[in-house]
Chains A and B, each alone.
Chain A
Amino acid sequence: MPVRFLVVGLAFALATLATAPVMAAQKEKSEQEEKKKSPSDLERGLMIFQSVIKTHKASRRLSWKEEQKLGRAVAEQVFLRYGPRSRNEKINKYVTLVGKTVAVRVGKREADYRFAVIDNREPNAFAAPGGFVFITTGLLKNLFSEAQLAGVLAHEVAHVSKGHMVNAIQRARKLEGMAELSAMLMNKNRNEFSQAVGEITDILFTKGLDKEKEFESDRVGVEYANQSGYDGRGLYEFLVSLRKKEGRESSIFFSTHPPTYDRIKKLKRGALQNIKRGQKLEKRFMAMAR
């Protein structure tokens, strides 16, 4: 028995001795590799410099052409999710005429703004980069005058003219040190492009924009509509009627926008203080949109 123990012990000792140099060599090798991996001060400096350049590039606003390209893909997602463009050309044309009238106030590229009515019961309106603006038949049913429609469309136009969506995803990229958005679009990297589209649809359908951006669009929307000759209280009136439905109706409109009460309060204290009298056009609205 003791002899067996002695043999086993001897074998173990020999094995340890045999493997020790190998283990030591391996340790040394891994340490050397680790050294190789960790960057030198010069390399670190270069990396920081590259990151600064990247961040600077990412902050450049997209060109209008790039925005349109992105907007086209987002528009496809809106139709995919909410249903196709309404076949009622009369209502599409009417909404386009009102939309174009307020879009003139943007002062540039107003001719590129496109408007569409979607046959969907859920009250909602969207804007995609590049001037694509949508309104559902469900929302049209909640309106009672052309001034209200102008207010809603002007709010959406303001989202585009102020670059809210593009800025939101560019800012996210900047924070994460990700690739430049415009380079992404131009390099035709399909995965990255679809990622940008996904980020915008996420804002539209799930997360919503920062509430400050919504307040800004409310304010600018009131200005656009009022400067176009409409009663500046159109958007306000719509929000008041909407507030009554808040909590009772489930719509992503409520989850992607700040509380309607806050929006009403902001408008009352701000933009509505400086409005001029304008057209309401209830009769024309009822004849064209109902």
Chain B
Amino acid sequence: MRIFTLLFTFLVMVTTIAWAGGEVYADRDKMKIFHKPSVMSKTITVIKKGEVLTVIEKAGKFYRVRTRKGIAGYALKSHVTSKKPGSGGGNDDLDNLLGAVLGGGRSDEMNEESSSHSIRGLKDDGRVASGGSSLKSARQSVISMENSGVSASELEKFQREGKVGRYAR
């Protein structure tokens, strides 16, 4: 009985993590990725069974996902699975899910909260961008953006060559 309870708790945890974000797999061949969260919407791309998809957010009966090629769109929840078809899943799956959901590096709780809130708060009005990334990679992008600067000498050379900025006539 105790083992069953533990197993059940584990399954609930895995499902919750998979729903909150992370990676899922196409559960059927020629699976359509839609432009909007509707089966009547334009098909952006078609993917093979077992192809991994990164979940960006939930949208009713759909997940907003990003394919390996970086194409973002909507996949029917009933057409994806948290376990890799044929492989029976495993620890790697769990690691991926945990990695994507928990993110890494920063311990800024306020940003953690704000991110999740804003994902929920975004209006699903069909006018979404055809892109997107996981929370982990979004955070990494902010760090890269803040760290990427140009030196004063680089800027000076650039302006001198283009006759702009300080070198404008």
Chain B nearest CB: distance from A108 CB in Å? 17
Which stretch, B9-17, B90-98, B115-123, touches the partner chain A? B115-123
Name the one of B66, B110, B144, B168 contacting A73, with C-beta atoms under 8 angstroms.
B110
Q: Complex Cα distance A72/B144, Å? A: 12
**Chain B: interface secondary structure?**
helix
Contact B140 A101 (CB under 8 A): no
Contact A100 B155 (CB under 8 A): yes
Q: Which of B70, B115, B154, B165 has the most CB of A within 10 A?
A: B165
Chain B nearest CB: distance from A189 CB in Å? 9
Q: Is B131 an interface residue (CB 8 A)?
A: yes
Q: Is B159 an interface residue (CB 8 A)?
A: yes
Residues of the A chain whose Cβ atoms lie less than 8 Å from the Cβ of B110? 73, 188, 190, 193-194
Contact A250 B127 (CB under 8 A): yes
Interface string of A86-111 (1 = CB under 8 A from B): 00010011001100110010000000
Contact A80 B127 (CB under 8 A): no
Interface string of A69-90 (1 = CB under 8 A from B): 0001101110111111100010
Residues of the B chain whose Cβ atoms lie less than 8 Å from the Cβ of A230? 164
Residues of the A chain whose Cβ atoms lie less than 8 Å from the Cβ of B122? 81, 201-202, 205-206
Contact A118 B131 (CB under 8 A): yes
Chain B nearest CB: distance from A67 CB in Å? 14
Contact B131 A97 (CB under 8 A): no
Interface string of A257-284 (1 = CB under 8 A from B): 0000000000000000000001101001
Residues of the A chain whose Cβ atoms lie less than 8 Å from the Cβ of B167? 229
Q: Is A122 an interface residue (CB 8 A)?
A: yes
Chain B nearest CB: distance from A160 CB in Å? 14
Chain A: residues with Cβ within 8 Å of the partner, total of 55
Contact A97 to B150, CB < 8 A, known contacts A76-B139, A201-B121, A205-B122:
yes
Contact B113 A193 (CB under 8 A): yes
Contact B145 A73 (CB under 8 A): no
Q: Is B111 an interface residue (CB 8 A)?
A: yes
Contact B164 A122 (CB under 8 A): no
Contact A85 B145 (CB under 8 A): yes
Q: Is B56 an interface residue (CB 8 A)?
A: yes
Residues of the A chain whose Cβ atoms lie less than 8 Å from the Cβ of B163? 229, 279
Contact B70 A119 (CB under 8 A): yes
Residues of the A chain whose Cβ atoms lie less than 8 Å from the Cβ of B138? 76-77, 79-80, 84
Chain A nearest CB: distance from B41 CB in Å? 11
Contact B164 A229 (CB under 8 A): yes
Contact B145 A197 (CB under 8 A): no
Q: Is A161 an interface residue (CB 8 A)?
A: no
Contact A79 to B141, CB < 8 A, known contacts A121-B130, A206-B127:
yes
Contact A97 B155 (CB under 8 A): yes
Q: Is B148 an interface residue (CB 8 A)?
A: yes
Residues of the A chain whose Cβ atoms lie less than 8 Å from the Cβ of B169? 229
Residues of the A chain whose Cβ atoms lie less than 8 Å from the Cβ of B121? 198, 201-202
**Given A75-B145, A250-B127, list of 13 further CB < 8 A pairs?**
A73-B114, A80-B133, A85-B141, A116-B141, A136-B131, A150-B164, A194-B118, A202-B122, A205-B127, A229-B164, A230-B164, A255-B127, A281-B164
Binding site for B on A (CB under 8 A): 72-73, 75-77, 79-85, 89, 92-93, 96-97, 100-101, 104, 114-116, 118-122, 124, 132, 136, 146, 150, 188, 190-191, 193-195, 197-198, 201-202, 205-206, 228-230, 250, 252, 255, 278-279, 281, 284
